[in-house]
């Protein structure tokens, strides 16, 4: 059998240009609201639906807003947002060009509580706020006695007894 009849025995030169090289992920575009234009925000209600908060803010002339993702005065179990609702919210937010958007944490949360039960409930409630924020593509504002802090990534909490908790 001749080597030319068998395709496995053909001698070919390796061409480095034929090698597969995946394209790098494109750099994400910065959010539209980081263009330096003034932001006018309002705290709006989610009564009825999360989309109502967006429409209320736009109707009142705001281009940024803050909401509570659940009742701010109650310990609630995990309030879930349906994927379809979250997608509709994100699409409407993009359409209305609203941002930044901030979720105000529950008033009852105290991550530095000395009482173990309150600290545990606070950590659970704050975690639930972060989960809802991720679904809606929000920042999360945590309240303290003197200030609010914007949080976008994981949070490392030092408890009074020097335990470290990552949310």
pLDDT tens digits along 92-144: 999 999 988 888 888 999 999 999 999 999 999 999 988 888 888 875 444 44
Asked if residue 4 is part of any domain, the answer here is no
Q: Containing domain of residue 144, as a range?
A: 37-166
Question: What are the structure tokens assigned to 76, written together?
Answer: 């609630």
Output the CA torsion 158→79→144→136 (10° steps): 100
Q: Would the pTM count as exceeding 0.85? A: no
Asked if residue 10 is part of any domain, the answer here is no
Question: What are the structure tokens assigned to 84, written together?
Answer: 């379809």
Q: Number of folded domains in the chain?
A: 1
- Match 């930044």 to its residue by tokens: 100
């Amino acid at each position: 059998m001749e080597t030319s009849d068998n395709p496995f025995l053909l001698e070919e030169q390796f061409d480095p240009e034929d090698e597969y090289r995946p394209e790098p992920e494109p750099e994400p575009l910065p959010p539209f609201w980081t263009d330096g234009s003034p932001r006018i925000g309002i705290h709006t209600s989610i009564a009825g639906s999360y989309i109502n908060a967006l429409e209320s803010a736009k109707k009142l002339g705001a281009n940024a807003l803050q909401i509570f993702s659940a009742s701010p005065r109650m310990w609630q179990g995990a309030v879930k947002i349906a994927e379809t609702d979250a997608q509709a919210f994100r699409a409407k937010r993009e359409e209305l060009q609203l941002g930044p958007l901030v979720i105000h944490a529950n008033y009852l949360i105290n991550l530095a509580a000395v009482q173990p039960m309150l600290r545990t409930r606070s950590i659970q409630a704050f975690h639930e706020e972060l989960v809802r924020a991720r679904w809606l593509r929000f920042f999360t504002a945590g309240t303290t006695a003197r200030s609010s802090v914007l949080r976008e990534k994981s949070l490392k909490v030092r408890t009074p007894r020097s335990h470290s908790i990552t949310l």
